[in-house]
Amino acid sequence: MDAILVVNAGSSSLKFQLFAARADGDFDCLVKGQVDGVGTRPRLKAEGLDKTPLIDQTFPPEKIPDLPAAIHEAGDWLRRTQKVNLIAVGHRVVHGGPDFGRPVRITSEVVAQLERYVSLAPLHQPNNLAPIRALLDRRPELPQVACFDTAFHRDHGALADYYALPERFYKEGVRRYGFHGLSYEYIAQRLPHVAPEIAKGRVIVAHLGSGASMCALSNGRSIESTLGFTALDGLVMGTRPGQLDPGVVLYLIAEKGMSPSAVQDLFYKESGLKGLSGLSNDVRELEKSADSKAAFALEYFVYRAGLYAGMLAAALRGLDAFVFTAGIGENSVTMRARIAETLAWLGVTLDPDANAKRGPRISGKDSLVAVYVIPTNEELMIARHTLEVLSRQRQGEPEKAAG
């Protein structure tokens, strides 16, 4: 059986899924797992097609000190237990920069290009590239494909793409890229099946998790996003501040004497819900807390989500539907209800019972805007793209990096 391994590497964890191609051209997920606590308390956990537990094993820290070791351990376990013919590995890569507008076959030259964007996504890019390098060293014959979070937004018009800076900066790649594109692309492909009546309409998708953003879809295509040059803009996130006056950066460096690396750490690791609450970056913990700062952090999250929904509705010149997805969007009944309240001016009403049951449609009968909860699946999107890249190469189609 031919299979594709999908890898999504974080700062201290490695998520993976093993997909088998079906006769209809789509995939079944054979194994879903992750290695958590890399370098501290490593733990390999995985489940099968029917969610049957397959392994739950801990390791000493020196056994899995880094992400290359995690991919080696997970790969070794998969080879020993899963009788499949691994034909390729697909990777989530957060930043494709101006050079990559669609998924590409990975080479050492591609990796060198992607390393240029480490400073634009310091929480993600280095970790995305670590297992890629490890597999290039250990399995150079195994095809690897990079799938980019920025690619889905590459068809934005110039008005959405440019910053109001001299043209030379745009040519150097200083532009609004947008992120979470694999998630938005999956939702766009699901809409014709879940909600065909609004699939070609004006839709805002809210990818709300530790990293959060919103995307405006028109006829299934991204026309605007809350994220820009880096993954710091837009909505407040778990540890990132969201929209920030650039003057704050100048003040911290010039007046407070902070180094660029200290400012980077502040913005990526100590801000957002964590910074506002002083307690946690996790919405679940903040919802349980009686602390007034936790309540303020959640109210801030809701307020900013409402503001950006208005911005995207303006970009779409109206709104037909609003979709919640990702960790908070899919699981927090309370946050969905609170955000929906901020959209009442657009004619949004919620059905409390449907919302409690996670929909998929959770809007009230009198709502002028349809509201849905649709689980995302970035890993399946990566598997599909990986197979497409292999198919293009088999047919002799030349690679085109830029979109």
* Structure-block tokens of residue 225: 């996003």
d(CA 198, CA 322): 10
Catalytic residue at 149? Answer: yes
Strand partners, 31: 18, 48
- Say which DSSP state 399 is in: P
Task: Report the run of H or E that residue 212 belongs to, with start and end.
Answer: strand 212-218
Token pair for 369: 């805007």
Q: Is the peptide bond before 53 cis (omega within 30 degrees of 0)?
A: no
Tell me the two tokens of residue 166. Answer: 């001299």
Instruction: Give the angle subtended at the CA of 46 by the CAs of 42 and 52, to the nearest 5°.
Output: 145
Whether 71 contacts 131, CB under 8 Å: yes
If you compute the radius of gyration of the chain from its CA atoms, what whole number of angstroms results? Answer: 21
Q: CA 184 to CA 252: how far, in whole Å? A: 34
Sign of the alpha-carbon dihedral angle for 314, 317, 322, 323: negative
The Cα–Cα gap between 348 and 343 comes to 6
Report the alpha-carbon distance of residue 375 to residue 236 in Å, rounded: 21
Kind plus residue range of the DSSP H or E element containing 159: helix 158-161
Note the pLDDT of residue 9.
86
Cα–Cα dist 125/195, whole Å:
34
CA–CA dist 128, 124 (Å, integer): 6
Q: Which helix (H) or strand (E) holds 400?
A: none
pLDDT given for residue 282 in this prediction:
93
Buried residues in 164-191 as b, exposed as e (16+ CB within 10 A): eeeeeebeeebbbbbbbbbbbbbbbebb
Other CB atoms within a 10 A radius of the CB of residue 155 amount to 13
403 residues of the chain, pLDDT tens digit each: 889 999 988 767 889 999 998 878 788 999 999 998 888 899 999 999 888 999 999 999 999 998 889 988 998 999 899 988 899 999 999 999 998 999 999 999 999 999 999 989 898 899 899 889 989 999 999 999 999 999 999 999 999 999 999 999 999 999 999 999 999 999 999 999 999 999 999 999 999 999 999 999 999 999 999 999 999 999 999 999 999 999 999 999 999 999 999 999 999 999 999 999 999 999 999 999 999 999 999 999 999 999 999 999 999 999 999 999 999 999 999 999 999 999 999 999 999 999 999 989 999 999 999 999 999 999 999 999 999 999 888 777 666 654 4
Q: Can you tell me the distance from the alpha carbon of 35 to that of 38, in angstroms, rounded to the nearest whole number? A: 7
Taking alpha carbons only, the member of 387, 402, 342 closest to residue 173 is: 402
* SS (HEC) of 162-194: CCCCCHHHHHCCCCCCCCCHHHHHHHHHHHHHH
Is residue 66 within 8 Å of 39, Cβ to Cβ?
Answer: yes
Catalytic residue among 50, 99, 149, 320: 149
Report DSSP letters for 45-93, one per residue: EEEETTS-EEEEEE--TTTS-SHHHHHHHHHHHHHHH---EEEEEEEEE
Q: What's 281's DSSP letter?
A: S
Strand order in the sheet with 85-93: 53-58, 43-48, 27-36, 14-21, 2-9, 85-93, 144-148, 104-105
DSSP string covering 287-339: HH---HHHHHHHHHHHHHHHHHHHHHHHHHTS-SEEEEEHHHHHH-HHHHHHH
